Structure 1
Amino acid sequence: MSFFNKIFSREKPNLEMRPLYEAIVREGRQLAWYEEGQVPDSLDGRFDMIAAIFSMVMIRLEKDQQLEQKVAWLTEIFISDMDRQLRQIGIGDMIVGKHVGRMMGALGGRVGAYREALQGGADLEDAILRNIFRGEKPDDSALTFIAQRLSAYHTALQAHDSNKIVTGNLPENGSIAQ
Structure 2
Amino acid sequence: MALFGLFRRQPHRRLGFELYGAAVRAARHPGFFTDLSVPDTLDGRFDLIGLHVALLIRRLHRDPDPRGPSIAQAVFDAMFADMDHNLREMGVGDMSIARRVKNMWEAFHGRAQAYEAPLQARDAAALATALARNVWRGTLPPEAPEPRRLAALSLAADAALTRLPLDALLRGEAHFPAPEEVPA
Give the structure-2-normalised TM-score: 0.84
Distance in 2 between residues matched to 1:30 and 1:142, nearest whole Å: 15
Aligned to 1:164: 168
- The one-letter amino acid paired with 1:123 is A
Aligned to 2:153: 149
Aligned to 1:173: 177
Q: Kindly state the Cα deviation for residue 5 of structure 1 after the two structures are TM-superposed.
A: 9.4
Residues 122-142 of structure 1: CA distance to partner in whole angstroms, max 9, x if unpaired? 701111012211222179222
Aligned to 1:73: 74
Aligned to 2:136: 133
Aligned to 1:94: 95
- The one-letter amino acid paired with 1:58 is I
Distance in 2 between residues matched to 1:131 and 1:88, nearest whole Å: 25
Asked if the contact 1:125/1:143 (under 8 Å) is kept, the reply is yes
Alignment of 1:9-158 (within 5 A): 13=11, 14-64=13-63, 66=66, 67-120=68-121, 121=123, 123-137=126-140, 140-158=144-162
Q: Kindly state the Cα deviation for residue 85 of structure 1 after the two structures are TM-superposed.
A: 0.8
Q: Kindly state the Cα deviation for residue 6 of structure 1 after the two structures are TM-superposed.
A: 8.7
Distance in 2 between residues matched to 1:129 and 1:142, nearest whole Å: 8
- The one-letter amino acid paired with 1:135 is G
Runs of 5+ in structure 1 lacking a partner? Answer: none
In the alignment of these two chains, the number of paired residues is 174
Asked if the contact 1:56/1:154 (under 8 Å) is kept, the reply is yes
Asked if the contact 1:58/1:111 (under 8 Å) is kept, the reply is no
- The one-letter amino acid paired with 1:71 is A
Q: Kindly state the Cα deviation for residue 144 of structure 1 after the two structures are TM-superposed.
A: 2.1
- The one-letter amino acid paired with 2:18 is P
Distance in 2 between residues matched to 1:75 and 1:108, nearest whole Å: 10
CA RMSD of aligned residues (A): 2.5
Residues 122-175 of structure 1: CA distance to partner in whole angstroms, max 9, x if unpaired? 701111012211222179222222111111111111111122124331225369
Q: Kindly state the Cα deviation for residue 19 of structure 1 after the two structures are TM-superposed.
A: 1.2
Greater Cα shift, 156-165 or 17-26:
156-165
Q: Kindly state the Cα deviation for residue 7 of structure 1 after the two structures are TM-superposed.
A: 5.0
Asked if the contact 2:27/2:48 (under 8 Å) is kept, the reply is yes
